Copies of this chain bind each other. A is one copy, B any other.
C-alpha cells in the first residue's frame, strides 16, 4: 500500500492500560494540514472531544498532530479538561506548533481519572519513534476490544488516502468508542474538506450499528496535508468514501461477539431518509440479529422491524431477500428451500434486502449478528 506523503506515526506503552502493549499513539503531518472532524452527539462528552472542537474552531481547521490514548476515555472525570489541555500543550511545545494544531482522543474506561503525567512523560520516546512506516503499528495500538486492526487505503489520480479505525465495543467497565482517522496528501482547503468528510461519514459511519449505543468519545477526523502538491481529481471523493465504507464495515464485522457482517440494503422507500429509518430499525433489532446468528431465515422479524421504524410503507408492497433469495413477497411468505437457505446463512456475510415498490429512497447499512459472545464480553465485569 502507498501511504500518503508527509505523515509519520509512532506508538509507545505509557502505562495507561494494564496489558503492556502500546496505548499511546501519535500521528504527525510534516506541515500543518487542513483538517475536519465529526464527534459524538451524546450529551455526555469526553474532555478530549470538547477540546478538539475548540482547537478546530480557533485554528480554522488546521492540524499538525493527532494524539490518541487507549486504556482511559478521560470522560466523567474531575481533572479531564485540565489533563486534555496539559497533554496537548506539552505535545505542541515539543513539536513547536500552536496548541490548537493538536487534536487529542481518548478511549477506554470512563469515570476514572486519567494520569496526564504518564502521557507527558512518554512524549519524548513517542516523538523519537515517529516514522513513515509506523502506520500499521499505530492502527494496532488504538485497539481496545477489537480483535483485529482496521485499516483501508486508496490511490486516486496521483493522491493517496489511508485510514485507520477502532471500535467493537468496550473494555470493561466501559462503553464502546469509535475512533477513525483518515489521511490524504491531496491539496484541499479546510472548508471543502469538511463537506467531503460529512458526505463520506453519511454513507459509512452513519450507516453502522453494533448495539445501538452511542459513545461519549466517538471521533472521526480527516486530514489533508497537500504533500502530493495535487488537488483532488474527479474520482477522489468516491475513493475517499470507499475508504470510509471499508473502515465502517470492518467495525461491524468485528462487533463484539460477532460471527457475521450483515449488509442491509433498502430500496423503493419514499425518501432516502425513510430508507435509512427502515435500515436502522432492522440493524438494531435484537430479534433480527439473533436470527442471523442462528442462520434463521426469519423474514417476519425483518418485516416487523421495518413496520415500527416510523417509515410509511404498505406491507403488501414489501419484498425481503436473504442472500439474494426472495423469502417474503408482497408482505407474505415466498416459497424457498429452507434447508438450502439455512446453509447460505452460515456464510460470514449476510445480505438483507428490503425492497419496496414505487419510491426512489435507498439506503445501505451495516451491522453484525448478536451472539452469546456479546453477552460474555459485556456482562462479565467481575470475572
Contacts and interface: CB of A to CB of B under 8 A. Distances in A.
A44 B315 contact: yes
Contacts of A372: 372, 375-376
A308 B380 contact: no
A381 B332 CA distance: 20
A332 B77 CA distance: 6
B370 A291 contact: no
Given A307-B42, A332-B78, A290 B111 contact: no
A375 B374 CA distance: 10
Interface string A371-383: 1101110111111
Contact of A111 (B77, B305, B333, B376): B333
A294 interface: yes
A293 B379 contact: yes
A222 B304 CA distance: 26
A331 interface: yes
Given A174-B300, A307-B43, A375-B371, A294 B382 contact: yes
Contact of A213 (B42, B176, B304, B382): B304
A313 interface: yes
Interface string A350-379: 000000000000000000001110111011
A286 B374 contact: yes
A173 interface: yes
Interface string A196-222: 000000000000000111111000000
A224 interface: no
A323 interface: no
A295 interface: yes
A75 B328 CA distance: 13
Given A44-B304, A76-B315, A290-B379, 14 more contacts: A44-B331, A76-B300, A76-B303, A175-B300, A175-B304, A212-B285, A214-B307, A286-B374, A291-B378, A294-B379, A294-B382, A342-B382, A371-B375, A371-B379
Interface of A: 41-44, 75-78, 109-112, 170, 172-176, 211-216, 284-287, 290-291, 293-301, 303-308, 312-313, 315, 328, 331-333, 342, 370-372, 374-376, 378-383
26 contacts: A43-B312, A75-B300, A76-B303, A76-B328, A109-B300, A110-B304, A170-B287, A172-B298, A173-B296, A173-B298, A173-B300, A175-B287, A175-B301, A176-B287, A211-B287, A213-B286, A214-B304, A290-B378, A293-B375, A294-B379, A294-B380, A295-B381, A296-B379, A370-B375, A372-B375, A372-B376
